[in-house]
């Protein structure tokens, strides 16, 4: 676990996202939860030395940020209003064969916790639309709605420690996934994040970084839009564009999928390309094809 502020920590090497926490002096506030069940239990054990875990703040609805919530029974989950519905829709996935098989292949130590009755789903109970400020112990947590990577995306700014937890609005030197987000809103979100006062940025994936990386993240999104726009302007359909031999690493995003998602490199490119295609077509008022 890496110190990222005087009382703030991030774990950047797990399978999944970068779960983080702040030791407030009156218990712990977590930002996102470890994806793998065994990691989640070990994490809970470690954090218990700082007192009770008061909140889990989910930065987004995707599985890699929310699947671990259930291993913190009784801890109130906080997130955007839209997270409630998204979490409910994910519940079947938590006990799916897809997940079971990935666990068997990559994390057999966690198998005994799969569908364990002591750990039922833990959905968000405190949600907000634009902004929520939580005061816990010596710390203020400013949760801001900044749609980008998803429509429900939030960041958690902790001014006392000069740290911001951006979730997947920032992928630092790892592959950027934009499988459903709006790239233009995302770029605007990065501008807004840049206006906040912080020293350390904890991204959703990859190593911690600073404010300077926001520009590089925006450039990756701009290149996605540029490259796909050229094909859209030639009148090609989504499937035709998806079949093009595009050198994504040279033209758009030089980074690889991280944190045990390596086998999903092609999927990340395909899903992002298809989403960007749809968003560009929508913007140009073109019919779906
Ligand atoms: Zn993620």
For residue 285, report the distance from its CA to the centre of ligand 1, in Å. 30
Ramachandran angles phi, psi of 53, nearest 5°: -90, 110
For residue 159, report the distance from its CA to the centre of ligand 1, in Å. 23
For residue 227, report the distance from its CA to the centre of ligand 1, in Å. 24
Ramachandran angles phi, psi of 240, nearest 5°: -65, -40
Q: Which residues, by Cβ under 5 Å, contact ligand 1, an ion? A: 17, 64, 168, 204
Rounded to whole angstroms, the Cα distance separating 158 from 62 reads: 23
- Strand ranges of the sheet holding 2-3, from the earlier edge strand across to the other edge: 2-3, 8-10, 20-23, 28-31, 53-57, 76-80, 124-128
For residue 30, report the distance from its CA to the centre of ligand 1, in Å. 16
Q: Which residues contact 167 (CB under 8 A, 6 or more apart)?
A: 17, 31, 32, 59, 60, 65, 149, 153, 154, 155, 203, 204
Are residues 56 and 30 in contact, defined by beta-carbon separation less than 8 angstroms?
Answer: yes
For residue 27, report the distance from its CA to the centre of ligand 1, in Å. 26
What are the start-end ranges of the H helices in the chain?
37-47, 63-66, 83-94, 97-106, 183-194, 213-233, 238-242, 248-251, 265-283
**Residue of 172, 149, 153 whose CA lies nearest to 31:** 153
pLDDT at site 265: 86
**Residue of 277, 276, 224 whose CA lies nearest to 249:** 224
How far are the Cα atoms of 23, 44, 57, 166, 269 from residue 142, in angstroms, in the given order? 16, 23, 11, 12, 33
Rounded to whole angstroms, the Cα distance separating 279 from 275 reads: 6
Are residues 77 and 122 in contact, defined by beta-carbon separation less than 8 angstroms?
Answer: yes
How far are the Cα atoms of 51, 130, 202 from residue 135, in angstroms, in the given order? 16, 17, 20
Q: What is the pLDDT of residues 210-225, one digit of tens each?
A: 999 999 999 999 999 9
Percent residues over pLDDT 90 in the chain:
93
For residue 14, report the distance from its CA to the centre of ligand 1, in Å. 12
pLDDT at site 257: 87
pLDDT at site 263: 78
Rounded to whole angstroms, the Cα distance separating 197 from 193 reads: 9
Are residues 263 and 209 in contact, defined by beta-carbon separation less than 8 angstroms?
Answer: no
pLDDT at site 264: 82
Q: What is the pLDDT of residues 85-113, one digit of tens each?
A: 999 999 999 999 999 999 999 999 999 99
For residue 233, report the distance from its CA to the centre of ligand 1, in Å. 31
For residue 251, report the distance from its CA to the centre of ligand 1, in Å. 23
Are residues 212 and 14 in contact, defined by beta-carbon separation less than 8 angstroms?
Answer: no
pTM to 2 decimal places: 0.96
pLDDT grade for 122, boundaries at 50, 70 and 90:
very high
Q: What is the pLDDT of residues 228-277, one digit of tens each?
A: 999 999 999 999 999 999 999 999 999 998 877 777 888 999 999 999 99
How far are the Cα atoms of 23, 24, 42, 56, 162 from residue 8, in angstroms, in the given order? 6, 9, 18, 14, 10
């Amino acid at each position: 676990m890496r110190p990222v502020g005087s009382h703030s920590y991030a774990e950047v090497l797990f399978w999944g996202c970068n779960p983080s926490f702040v030791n407030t002096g009156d218990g712990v506030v977590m930002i996102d939860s470890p994806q793998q069940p065994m990691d989640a239990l070990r994490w809970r054990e470690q954090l218990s030395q700082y007192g009770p875990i008061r909140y889990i703040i989910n930065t987004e609805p995707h599985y890699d940020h929310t699947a671990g919530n259930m291993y913190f029974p009784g801890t109130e989950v906080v997130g955007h209003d839209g997270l409630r519905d998204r979490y409910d829709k994910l519940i079947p996935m938590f006990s799916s064969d897809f997940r079971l098989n990935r666990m068997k292949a990559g994390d057999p130590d966690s198998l005994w916790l799969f569908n364990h009755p002591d750990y039922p789903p833990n959905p968000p109970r405190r949600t907000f639309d634009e902004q929520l400020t939580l005061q816990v112990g010596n710390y203020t947590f400013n949760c801001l709605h900044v749609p980008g990577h998803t429509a429900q995306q939030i960041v958690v700014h902790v001014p006392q420690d000069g740290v911001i937890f951006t979730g997947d609005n920032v992928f630092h030197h790892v592959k950027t996934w934009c499988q459903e987000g709006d790239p233009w809103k995302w770029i605007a979100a990065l501008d807004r994040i840049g206006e906040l006062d912080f020293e350390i940025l904890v991204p959703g994936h990859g190593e911690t970084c600073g404010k300077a990386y926001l520009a590089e993240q925006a450039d990756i999104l701009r290149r996605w839009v540029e490259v796909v726009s050229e094909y859209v302007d030639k009148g090609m359909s989504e499937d035709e564009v998806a079949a093009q031999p595009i050198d994504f690493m040279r033209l758009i995003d030089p980074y690889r999928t991280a944190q045990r998602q390596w086998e999903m490199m092609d999927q990340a490119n395909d899903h992002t390309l298809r989403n960007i295609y749809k968003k560009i077509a929508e913007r140009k008022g073109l019919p779906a094809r």
